[in-house]
Structure 1
Amino acid sequence: MQREAGVIYAVLAYCLWGFLPIYWKLIDHVSSDEILTHRIIWSFVFSILLLVVINGRHQIMDTIRSLRKDLKQVVIIFTASMIITTNWFVYIWAVNAGHVTDASLGYYMNPLVSVLFGVIFFKERLNRTQSLSFLLASIGVIILTVSHGSFPLIAFGLAITFGFYGLLKKLVQMDALTGLAIETFFVVPVAFGYFLYLQLTGRSAFLSGSLFTDIVLIGAGLATLLPLLFFAKGVQRIPLYYVGILQYIAPTLMLLLGVFLYHESFSTVQFASFSFIWLALIIFTYPNIKALYKKRQKGEASM
């Protein structure tokens, strides 16, 4: 039952992430910087409230005290905070500027970027399967770059920032909810200052007459928090190779939304480029699928 529940939680998390463009499109009349401001503020508010409800104030104070004694951890979390804030902004802007398919490409590329960072920063060696995956993905990116006449900056921006964020998170021993609270704590002062500036200059869409817009902006915190909590519950209950397979749900949903719901262009050249990247991911994920198949066979044999 633990594993089945874990799969459900993980699938829920990736589906919520995959459908997130629909949420941001609800407020595409609001500037990306204002949406980001509210995402930071309300993520901080809801994560703190939830921490108090679940763990009480004492654990929060204990975490703060332990961080005060460990400057290295503070620097890592602060850096992670800056990087994920950049990732959020690029993603929100991409969605509301009509680049959902580009955003999906970024998250398709993310697993490969994570492995590349392992090679660069931890001197990990690529096996033949991983090397072939990188070669195919590189061909896909080259095709896209040549056909468009420009480098796919949105996709790479999302993949690189999220890859760095994941790298830094590995260096911090902290649960997802506490991590989100502390990361947003570092940028909340700037976000709140910008929020006040928008209010005082009359440029804010918040509290300007549309209750729907206000609710969606406040809900940005929950839209950030809920998939993160589901993901945390999921990964606690399932092996990592399950995560390696399920993680492609989100970018696939994004791509489908971009092409079929928002009617973004998806040319033959783009399809060819994505095909190389999909093939790279199939080869890259094959060991996880093989491990899952063997696990099931062992389970059936023991029954």
Structure 2
Amino acid sequence: MSNATHPIDRAGLFMGAGAYLCWGLLPLYFKAVKSVPAVEVLANRICWALVLLLAITFITRRTDKLRAVFTSWRVVAMLGLSALLICLNWLTYIWAVQNSHVLEASLGYFLNPLINVLLGMIFLGERLNRVQSFAVALAAAGVAVLAAGAAAGLWISLTLALSFGFYGLVRKMAPVQSLEGLAVEAMLLLPIASGYLIWSAAAGTIAFGSSVSITVLLVLLGAVTAAPLLLFNAAARRLRYSTLGLLQYLAPTLQFLLAVLAFGEAMTTPHIICFALIWTGLIIYAGDGLRNARRMRPAPAE
């Protein structure tokens, strides 16, 4: 008789945890380049990420797959839209960290799983059960409480949650793998990013090259962008979706802890109520997902 339960792949678990750990600690990196304007940080992130992604594509012999993406204008157009969405997401996040709004940024990524549920219902015809509907309602109540408290940073949370939610929706519908998709997105954004850097250099306001430490940090943005993505992709092939779904809460939890414990950002009463409602909704949503996953497991084979 075979066992109905499947052991968790340890390598996959470490890869998944590593990806979300990188994303959770990302505020520390952006704080280190706080002296660099957010737009320049974003431009460097795009350019150096593209260099690394193209190198990985060449080393792994996936250049044919990359070229194949450009044979479909529909796919390129979809990646153009996703590129704009991830650009908005990255710029908002970098600005939020540099301007001491890590708390609001973490709230945005706590909201993201529940935003994904709503987008799936609206655009993909997915249905919510009663438990999921209740979880989404709790999150909506949390946002309403924060809005009523006149939270100046609420726009950051909603921009991050919605931009990343729509980004995931577009990428879900685009028939392209993660590595090639991100490389094409960076290619499409390259003219804007490189144009800004050239303009800044001509105006004498560019931070790149101003010091060795800043220059190295800006160059390493390519690895900071690509490494967690590659770890995530490897983990996704090894782990159950429910396990990966639970790991995703690691990143915003670390961001939240950094905001309060390391950066000294203030927790107001609306913040506390909002986070409590959203965390409750996430626990209910995750618990429902685990129950559903257990029901779908195959019966023990004789």
Global fold match (TM > 0.5): yes
Contact 1:6–1:238 (Cα < 8 Å) also in 2: yes
Q: Superposed, which structure 2 residues align to 1:121-270 within 5 Å?
A: 121-148=123-150, 152-208=154-210, 210-270=211-271
Aligned partner (choices 52, 63, 87) of residue 66 of structure 2: 63
Q: Equivalent residue for 1:43?
A: 49
Give, as a single letter, the amino acid of the residue that structure 2 aligns with 1:188: L
SS in 2 for 1:23: helix
**7-16 or 262-271: bigger deviation:** 262-271
Pick aligned residue for 2:78 from 70, 76, 79: 76
2:89 pairs, out of 87, 90, 93, with: 87
Identity %: 36
Q: Distance in 2 between matches of 1:2 and 1:131?
A: 29
Matched residue type, 1:193: G
TM-score, structure 1 normalization:
0.92
Aligned to 1:14: 20
Distance 1:28 1:63 in 2: 34
User: Which of 102, 105, 111 is the equivalent residue of 1:103?
Assistant: 105
What do residues 252-292 of structure 1 show as CA deviations (whole Å, max 9, x unaligned)? 00000000000001123311110000000000110233357
2:60 is matched with which residue?
54
Q: Which amino acid aligns with 2:30?
A: W
> Which residue number in structure 2 is paired with residue 34 of structure 1?
40
Identify, as 1 or 2, the structure richer in helix: 1
The aligned counterpart of 2:3 is none
Deviation at 1:148, TM superposition (A): 2.1
* Structure 2 alignment gaps of length 5 or more: 1-6
Contact 1:80-1:168 within 8 A present in 2 as well: yes
Structure 1 residues 196 and 241, CA gap change in structure 2 (3 angstroms): same
Q: Aligned letter for 1:21?
A: P
Q: Which residue of structure 2 lines up, in the alignment, with residue 274 of structure 1?
A: 275
Q: Secondary structure at the match of 1:170?
A: helix
Q: Deviations over 1:128-156 (max 9, x none)?
A: 01110111111111111111255711000
CA distance, structure 2, for counterparts of residue 173 and residue 295 of structure 1: 27
The count of residues paired between Structure 1 and Structure 2 equals 295
Pick closer, same or farther for the CA change 1:62–1:103 going to 2, 3 Å.
Answer: closer
CA change 1:294–1:115 in 2 (3 A) is: closer
8 A contact 1:83–1:161 mirrored in 2: yes
Tell me the distance in 1 between the aligned counterparts of 2:157 and 2:51: 30
Do the aligned residues in 2 keep the contact of 1:133 with 1:281 (CA within 8 Å)? yes
Question: Which runs of 5 or more residues in structure 1 are unaligned?
Answer: none
2:63 maps to amino acid: I
User: Which residue identity does 2:281 align to in structure 1?
Assistant: A
Residue number in structure 1 paired with 2:4: none
Other structure's SS at 2:208 match: coil
- Given that residues 145 and 151 in structure 1 are in contact (C-alpha distance below 8 angstroms), is that contact kept between their aligned partners in structure 2? no
Q: What is the Cα deviation at residue 215 of structure 1? A: 0.3
Paired residues of 1:241 and 1:288 also in contact (CA < 8 A): yes
Letter in 1 for 2:22: L
Q: Cα RMSD over matched residues?
A: 2.0
Q: State the one-letter code of the partner of 2:186.
A: T
Quick one: distance in 1 between partners of 2:181 and 2:269? 42
SS at match of 1:266: coil
Deviation of 1:41 (Å) = 0.3
Structure 1, 266-275 or 110-119: larger mean CA deviation = 266-275
The letter of the residue matching 2:73 is L
Contact 1:242 1:288 in 2 (8 A): no
